[in-house]
Amino acid sequence: MSPATIPYRPRSGYDSASATGALTVQTKAQNAVLVVNDITIERQSNTISDALPGVTFTVKAESKADETLDITRATDANQKAISDWVTAYNSLQSTINSVYQICGCRSG
């Protein structure tokens, strides 16, 4: 007994087996390549997030000349967050001290 063959034709009517080959490749896919601190990095994606900790590169086009990036940490937001936390902590400490003075329950 031989297996049954079921013909398949997509709803669109396109049959790849009888295609005329009218489509041609214009540009062959290539990996993204960049050099960071003299280290060549090559990836299949144009988004590279593992070259430098906390930095994501998105390669948009080939560059004929070297590109220079200046990367700095956003410390202003960190300093403000720490300052706000210290202010809140000090306020809490003042409130706790006031409560202990009112109730007289501070021991030791």
**pLDDT tens by residue, 20-64:** 666 677 778 888 888 888 889 899 988 989 888 888 888 888 888
Residues contacting residue 35 through CB under 8 Å, at least 6 positions apart? 41
Q: Are residues 104 and 81 in the same domain?
A: yes
Higher-confidence position of 101 and 81: 81
Indicate whether 19 belongs to any domain.
Answer: no
What does the alpha-carbon distance between residue 5 and residue 40 come to, in Å, rounded to a whole number? 51
Indicate whether 12 belongs to any domain.
Answer: no
- What integer pLDDT is reported at residue 88 of this predicted model? 97
Higher-confidence position of 76 and 88: 88
- Name the residue range of residue 51's domain: 29-60
What does the alpha-carbon distance between residue 94 and residue 25 come to, in Å, rounded to a whole number? 72
Indicate whether 8 belongs to any domain.
Answer: no
- What integer pLDDT is reported at residue 51 of this predicted model? 86
Q: Are residues 56 and 83 in the same domain?
A: no
**pLDDT tens by residue, 2-18:** 566 666 655 666 666 66
Q: Are residues 84 and 56 in the same domain?
A: no
Q: Are residues 78 and 107 in the same domain?
A: yes
- What integer pLDDT is reported at residue 15 of this predicted model? 63
Indicate whether 1 belongs to any domain.
Answer: no
How many domains does the chain contain in total? 2
Indicate whether 3 belongs to any domain.
Answer: no
